[in-house]
């Protein structure tokens, strides 16, 4: 069996959905499980709905309406006959969402988030499944929440592998085209959970692992994994092959083309991962499997913007030792600030962090009681795997370097500005 994953960008409009059909025609669809994300930027749009819901904002109706309008347009572009059963099916999902918004009593933000945001994937897979049937490809729509069981850590749920394995081995039918939702799972009480933003790649890996699949293919708007994000590096080149280890490193440092959790389950069973273009599905793309680190052997660039560089020094010139460091880290954890680089010297301690939830101001008040705190906002963190002198120059050219750290395989450079 093969597992395919189509992300939001691949199904952002009617042309995208039709293209999925074309890809399946070209590469085959028997004995395939299709994992699909929410269409385009639907997850972000549903996050806006959640915000309005908690803010008790008058804009709530219109933010729901926006999600409806977007999907309705796709439906109208895909199906000439508005009596097609898909219209009723999608309307029913929106009615469920509206019912939830009107009747929910839980004040738990993360719980509510998962119940709402999941409609993105439920709707996209409903549309895709109906469209494939309409085009003559019979599909089996499956509700992933009956398969992937998790704990109740809403928004970042952990998979219960034993239960998930049992459900998948017993109930996924072979020899047909299955369609299911990425990103979702359900807990012990069958409430919807999610696996973390961008988690659909991970869903594909979970199914592949439990099905002992032959391969996973994630279909992208790029030719494969490249040695840099082509949005930022015009000379980015395709990597034909990378090892699991290398892919894990790239994903860890922030190459957003593969979700970091995807690789471990695949590596365990040595299931190859292909990253291919949904525009040119017959091109080779990238194969992630056992073997040489990367071919061709090139420096790989990863860019993280909007970082914060914080430097802490002791007020009394004492050393910053384990005890301080451990309390500093538990504060970062508490304030949900993600540390991407650490540099330590006798009396100062620097970190490059991501403050996604705007918590640093609050944290700074606490840190300032014990440390002298200096910080620079809006810095950029570059990571170069397999660096060489030229690669470093490409990054540093014309920029102010604030910090640089070198290990055997990896160079990290923090520059001012975005």
Question: What's the rounded Cα separation, in Å, for the pair 388 and 285?
Answer: 25
5 annotated as ligand-binding: yes
Residue 183 interacting with ligand ASP (CB under 6 A):
yes
Which residue stretches of 151-243 are H helix? 161-171, 200-211
* Span from 5-13, 48-56, 60-68, 132-140 in contact with Mg ion (CB under 5 A): 5-13
Residue 233 CB, nearest approach to ligand ADP (Å):
9
**β 215-220/371-385 pair status:** unpaired
Contacts of 264 (CB under 8 A, 6+ apart): 205, 248
43 annotated as ligand-binding: yes
Residue 8 interacting with ligand ASP (CB under 6 A):
yes
Are 295 and 240 a contacting pair, CB within 8 Å? yes
Residue 52 interacting with Mg ion (CB under 5 A):
no
3-state secondary structure of 84: coil
Question: What's the rounded Cα separation, in Å, for the pair 213 and 266?
Answer: 9
16 annotated as ligand-binding: no
Query: Between 196 and 215, how does the x/- string for binding to Mg ion read (CB under 5 A)?
Result: --x-----------------
Residues that bind ligand ADP (CB under 6 A): 7-10, 37, 198, 220-222, 225-226, 228-231, 255-257
199 annotated as ligand-binding: no
Are 192 and 122 a contacting pair, CB within 8 Å? no
For 231, 384, 409, the CA distances from 406, given in Å and listed in that order, are 26, 10, 8
Question: What's the rounded Cα separation, in Å, for the pair 396 and 405?
Answer: 13
Are 339 and 331 a contacting pair, CB within 8 Å? no
* Span from 156-164, 196-204, 287-295, 344-352 in contact with ligand ASP (CB under 6 A): 196-204
Of 16, 40, 199, 223, the one binding ligand ASP by CB under 6 A: 199
Q: Residue 199 touches which of ligand ASP, Mg ion, ligand ADP, none (CB < 5 to 8 A by kind)?
A: ligand ASP
120 annotated as ligand-binding: no
Residue 405 CB, nearest approach to ligand ASP (Å):
30
Contacts of 13 (CB under 8 A, 6+ apart): 39, 40, 74, 77
Question: What's the rounded Cα separation, in Å, for the pair 161 and 295?
Answer: 33
Residue 40 interacting with ligand ASP (CB under 6 A):
no
Residue 38 interacting with ligand ASP (CB under 6 A):
yes
Binding-site residue total for ligand ASP (CB under 6 A)? 12
Residue 353 interacting with ligand ASP (CB under 6 A):
no
Which two structure tokens, joined as six digits, stand for 133? 């049937």
CB of 122 or CB of 288, closer to ligand ASP: 122
8 annotated as ligand-binding: yes
CB of 187 or CB of 198, closer to ligand ASP: 198
CB of 222 or CB of 391, closer to Mg ion: 222
- At what angle are helices 109-117 and 119-134 packed, to 10 degrees? 10
Rule CB under 6 A: which residues touch ligand ASP?
A: 7-8, 37-38, 43, 120, 182-183, 197-200
Rule CB under 5 A: which residues touch Mg ion?
A: 7, 198
């Amino acid at each position: 069996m093969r597992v395919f994953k189509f992300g939001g960008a691949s199904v952002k409009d009617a042309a995208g959905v039709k293209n999925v059909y074309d890809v399946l025609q070209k590469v085959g669809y028997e004995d395939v499980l299709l994992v699909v994300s929410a269409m385009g930027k639907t997850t972000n749009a549903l996050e806006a709905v959640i915000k309005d819901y908690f803010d008790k904002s008058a804009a709530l109706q219109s933010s729901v309406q926006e999600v409806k309008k977007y999907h309705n347009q796709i439906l109208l572009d895909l199906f000439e006959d508005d009596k097609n059963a898909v219209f009723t099916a999608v309307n029913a999902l929106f009615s469920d969402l509206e019912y939830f918004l009107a009747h929910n009593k839980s004040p738990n933000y993360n719980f509510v988030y998962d119940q709402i945001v999941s409609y993105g994937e439920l709707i996209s897979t409903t549309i895709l499944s109906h469209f494939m049937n309409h085009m003559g490809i019979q599909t089996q729509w499956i509700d992933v929440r009956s398969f992937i069981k998790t704990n109740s850590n809403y928004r970042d749920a952990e998979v219960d592998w034993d239960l998930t394995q049992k459900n998948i081995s017993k109930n996924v039918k072979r020899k047909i085209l299955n369609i299911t939702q990425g990103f979702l799972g359900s807990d012990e009480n069958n409430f919807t959970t999610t696996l973390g933003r961008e988690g659909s790649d991970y869903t594909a890996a979970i199914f592949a692992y439990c099905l002992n699949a032959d391969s996973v293919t994630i279909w992208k708007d790029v030719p494969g994994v490249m040695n840099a994000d082509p949005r930022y590096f015009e000379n980015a080149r395709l990597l034909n092959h990378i090892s699991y280890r290398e892919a894990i490193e790239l994903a860890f440092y922030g190459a957003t083309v593969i979700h970091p959790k995807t690789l471990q389950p695949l590596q365990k069973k040595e299931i190859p991962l292909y990253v291919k273009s949904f525009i040119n599905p017959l091109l080779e793309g990238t194969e992630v499997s056992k073997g040489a680190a990367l071919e061709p052997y090139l420096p790989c660039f990863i860019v993280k913007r909007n970082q914060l560089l914080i430097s802490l020094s002791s007020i009394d010139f004492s050393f910053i030792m384990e005890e301080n460091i451990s309390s500093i880290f538990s504060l970062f954890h508490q304030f949900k600030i993600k540390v991407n680089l650490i540099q330590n010297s006798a009396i100062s301690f620097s970190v490059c962090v991501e403050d996604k939830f705007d918590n640093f101001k609050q944290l700074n008040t606490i840190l300032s009681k014990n440390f002298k705190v200096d910080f620079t906002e809006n810095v950029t963190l570059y990571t170069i795997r397999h660096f060489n002198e030229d690669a470093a120059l490409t990054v540093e050219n014309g920029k102010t370097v604030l910090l640089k750290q070198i290990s055997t395989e990896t160079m990290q450079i923090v520059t001012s500005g975005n």
